[in-house]
Structure 1
Amino acid sequence: MHAIQTSGNCIRNVTADQFSGVAADEVEDARPWCEIIRQWSTFHPEFAFLPRKFKIAVCGSEQDRAAVMVHDIGLQIVKDPEGNTAFKVIVGGGLGRTPVIGSVIHDALPPQHLLTYLEAIVRVYNQLGRRDNKFKARIKILVRAMGADAFKAKVEEEWAFIKDGQLSLPEEEVARAKSFFTAPDYLALQNEDLQAVALESPAFARWLAHNVHAHKQDGYAIVTLSLKTTGVAPGDITAEQFVAVANLAEEYGFGEARSTHQQNMVLPDVQQKQLFSLWQRLESLELASPTVGTMNDIICCPGGDFCSLANAKSIPIAEAIQRRFDDLDYLYDLGEIELNISGCMNACGHHHIGNIGILGVDKKGQEFYQVSLGGSQGLNASLGKILGPSFAQEDIPDVIEKILNCYVERRQPDEDFLDTFNRIGLEPFKERVYA
């Protein structure tokens, strides 16, 4: 993360999967490619005044954790038929007032052409994107107006002029970028059997099941620190906790801590045999809520409490939901549910791609909340469908409870919320809520 080009109509901070470099399902580390893109885009003289802000995400894992389908450009690292690194290029995604799922315009771009192809995409956008209306200036509007095939044809036409030019990536430049992201000095460890410890401590077992993730190095684990304590704004961390996390990163890893777009933090390299000790420390810091991946792992924008753009408050809604559904066994029985809250149509809380999305709206000076269902991020991303008329703030916990009751009654064995919604559709939920 850097503070260059953070607010202008330019290419902003390039983002990646929070597990990059350590994920067990990783195809290739995304971080070197992010660094190459960062160096290309920073102070780019041609792209300093684009029609609107521009965001790029890169994911190098089988499971998309970087939301590549809803960025201006999303890059998914894949392997071509010969087993070589390539990029699936997705263009024109975005949320906000006009939510759009991106379109694939290249299935397997060779890495030596990465920057030339990106240059062609942004150049076409810079030339043809609207500048008369900021609400219609993002690349998603251009791609949708032209159609993905026509946009791709225009990119390919521009690309032909620069494909083999100065921006072609030689292997030594890729190797230089990769040299910045070498593996730390892992010990030669065996995977630990923590079942006996988990049986002695049910609380540790819950945390182990939900907050600890598979690492590609034997004997190590990835740990997500939950910043979703009930009564605290989701994603908030105190100065004292932050200092403590820095110390834990040194003591239980290689001095690295990461931030996630789910508003949590990650310690990427924890020895499995130290997990119980780390959990005890996190418990004392109130950073060990075993709710990662559950409905109470809420993504929530600052809302009307802090943001001058918001139509309604977000943080009290998150707290009300967390307090209503505080039974861990019930949350675990529900399975993975992504609940996202935005205080206005700018969609900073990504409500469009929440399995359950909540949007604050203004109705004659009063704060109301619109609910949508069926959104999802990932490579099969989908946009939520609006349930119906909006609700008063005090009604939201009851609305969520009716939605969950409908899901529990209608789901099939081992079926998660999104699968149930896709199978039965919106109407059963709508009938239950508005009955």
Structure 2
Amino acid sequence: MYQYTEFDKAFVRKRAEQFRDQLERWQAGKLSDAEFLPLRLQNGWYVQRYAPMLRVAVPYGEISAAQLRVLGRIAQEYDDPEAEVYQQALKTQGALGTRYLPTHYAHFTTRTNVQFNWIPLSRAADVMDLLASVNMHGIQTSGNCIRNTTTDALAGVAVDEIVDPRPYAEILRQWTTLHPEFSFLPRKFKIAISGAREDRAATGWHDVGLHLVKNEAGEIGFKVYVGGGMGRTPMIGTLIREFLPWNQIMNYIEAIVRVYNEHGRRDNKYKARIKILVKSEGQQYIDDVEREYRQIVEIDGGPHTVPDAELERVKACFVDPDISHYPPLTGEEASRLLTEQAAAEPRFARWLQRNVHPHRNPALRAVTLSFKRVGQAPGDASADQLFALAELVEQFSAGEARVTHDQNVVLPWVHASQLQALWHKARELGLASTNVDLLTDMIACPGGDLCALANARSLPIAAVITERYQDLDELDDIGDIDLHISGCINSCGHHHSGHIGILGVDKDGKEWYQITVGGSDGSDLSGPPQPGKVIGPSFSAAEVPDVIEALLTTYRDLRTPGERFIDTVRRVGLDPFKQAGAAARHPQPVAETV
């Protein structure tokens, strides 16, 4: 992990001190609500449907055991609403809704951040001080700025990696933090970096997507994509540079953003994302970026060219942990050991198949821990689970974990000889769900249960589907599939990129759900990223589980041996799935059941 310098640490502490002063002035009436609004947003503090929500940055997903413990402490001691606020929320949700309003929880987001939903603003400064004690903050997790840069959860360990993207992500994080050029953009701006052959960072869906590559001479550079995004107008990024030398990445992003700042829409927030500008201007936008880039490099002298020494300094933070205290294992020995253990314990064998990933070091493995199970919403982790996770990370993964955009946690440094011990402990703690990449490993935003922007609830839909599909043999038979659920068109649940996407919509003040099929986030070597297509009119909440079952039954009827859901959709087209959805519609209006 990146090691904060004394400057880094002082910067985060000073930011926390500044926020405390702002909060106290607001509490004293010296700052109006309107004046305080941008100040709290710049530090990750929203006000949601019922209470404040804090978004904590986890740059490129890397998180330490010490940081997890602090998050657990915040969940335990601070994520507890004032009684009257919470009781009012429960009344509006009804009896069934109460299970979707947990307290003392954190929530892992699709941008690898962490959110808390019930911290009173009166305690916000204390929380920011606590975060700063472990080099965490909420800077630029909100507002029209460059947000948290994300990357592959297997960065630095993946067997198909070309270049480790983490040092470049860290350099970009430092450079973009509070940069004046990036602080007042037309709209929010998101960057993702992939350094592997398989794009597990969903770069095509970002305002800027960067692919680390090597040219024929072995030189490192970036393929640069611009203009991807979800929301009201889903678009895949456009390739604007086939090869950009790695040390020019900041100069080039500055050119991208300068053109965006100059020509991006500011009169309509729904048309303000850079994707709208790229689509409307086409080649003209690319020409303008290249012209601005030449200006920066040739006339301004390339002020943001990254020195070799700086890259080496940052790279030195991302070293492999010392595993000399474990028995040395060749790849063949590790495989033989795990094969023997799996043969003796079928449940462990299933976990190995689903949750354990190859590693570039043959003696090691990367492990995904899933919190997704009956009674727990996707992405949620209780205070107790966070403390337990910290222990597992410290004991089995050299103190480091990764938050994933699938709302899971990866342990990237697990020795093969320790996998069985990790599995036993994870099972005791309820963190060993063997559903990774299966139907119940779904993505879901908090939706209308918590979010003020949502048109419909996401979590009850996720819960009903999870409860319906608890047979692991059935899940394995359905196979790899991405189910994504969003409570509104902003697509925090990434419904556009789901093989099956569910979008909550408002019809005459009631909750309905639009279903799409055939989306992809690009983490699939057999096909590019693409938005799903709507299969028909929206469905009531009560109909959604039956529609999902009908889609899966259609897939199982039509698939060829070994064919995944998304591959079947690509081969046969949407018509069979449209017909299945229509047939699953209830003939008469039904009472709301979720």
Structure 1 length normalisation: TM-score? 0.98
Question: How far 1:406 sits from its partner (Å)?
Answer: 0.7
Question: How far 1:175 sits from its partner (Å)?
Answer: 1.1
Match of 2:314 among 157, 177, 185: 177
Question: How far 1:186 sits from its partner (Å)?
Answer: 3.2
8 Å CA contact 1:252, 1:274 repeated in 2: yes
Match of 2:330 among 176, 185, 190: 190
| Structure 2 residue aligned with 1:406 | 554
- Give 1:130-209 correspondences, 5 Å limit: 130-147=265-282, 149-163=283-297, 164-187=301-324, 188-191=328-331, 192=334, 193=336, 194-209=338-353
Question: How far 1:24 sits from its partner (Å)?
Answer: 1.4
Alignment partners' CA distance in 1, 2:397 and 2:511: 45
Question: How far 1:304 sits from its partner (Å)?
Answer: 1.0
| Structure 2 residue aligned with 1:242 | 386
Q: Please state whether the residue corresponding to 1:245 is helix, strand or coil.
A: helix
8 Å CA contact 1:229, 1:287 repeated in 2: no
Question: How far 1:10 sits from its partner (Å)?
Answer: 1.0
Question: How far 1:415 sits from its partner (Å)?
Answer: 1.2
| Structure 2 residue aligned with 1:293 | 437
Alignment partners' CA distance in 2, 1:4 and 1:238: 24
The AA in structure 2 aligned to 1:5 is: Q
Aligned length: 434
Alignment partners' CA distance in 2, 1:46 and 1:77: 25
Q: Which has the higher contact order (CA 8 A, sep 6+)?
A: 2
Q: Please state whether the residue corresponding to 2:553 is helix, strand or coil.
A: helix
Q: Which has the larger radius of gyration?
A: 2
Deviation string, structure 1 residues 307-341 (Cα, Å, up to 9, x no partner): 11111111111111111121111111122100000
8 Å CA contact 1:335, 1:416 repeated in 2: yes
| Structure 2 residue aligned with 1:233 | 377
Alignment partners' CA distance in 2, 1:433 and 1:31: 42
Alignment partners' CA distance in 2, 1:182 and 1:121: 32
| Structure 2 residue aligned with 1:10 | 145
Alignment partners' CA distance in 2, 1:107 and 1:66: 18
The AA in structure 2 aligned to 1:68 is: T
8 Å CA contact 2:203, 2:210 repeated in 1: yes
Alignment partners' CA distance in 1, 2:577 and 2:143: 41
The AA in structure 1 aligned to 2:307 is: P
Alignment partners' CA distance in 2, 1:62 and 1:106: 18
Match of 1:302 among 446, 457, 460: 446
| Structure 1 residue aligned with 2:220 | 85
Identity %: 54
Q: Please state whether the residue corresponding to 2:461 is helix, strand or coil.
A: helix
The AA in structure 1 aligned to 2:207 is: D
Question: How far 1:5 sits from its partner (Å)?
Answer: 1.7
Unmatched 5+ stretches in structure 2: 1-57, 59-136, 584-594
Are 2:542 and 1:394 aligned? yes
- Give 1:250-329 correspondences, 5 Å limit: 250-329=394-473
| Structure 1 residue aligned with 2:514 | 370
Alignment partners' CA distance in 2, 1:28 and 1:104: 19
Deviation string, structure 1 residues 349-390 (Cα, Å, up to 9, x no partner): 000000000001111111111100000011610100001011
Alignment partners' CA distance in 2, 1:145 and 1:230: 45
| Structure 2 residue aligned with 1:348 | 492
Question: How far 1:86 sits from its partner (Å)?
Answer: 1.2
Question: How far 1:21 sits from its partner (Å)?
Answer: 1.0
8 Å CA contact 1:373, 1:387 repeated in 2: yes
| Structure 2 residue aligned with 1:434 | 582
Match of 2:366 among 222, 241, 249: 222
Question: How far 1:432 sits from its partner (Å)?
Answer: 2.0
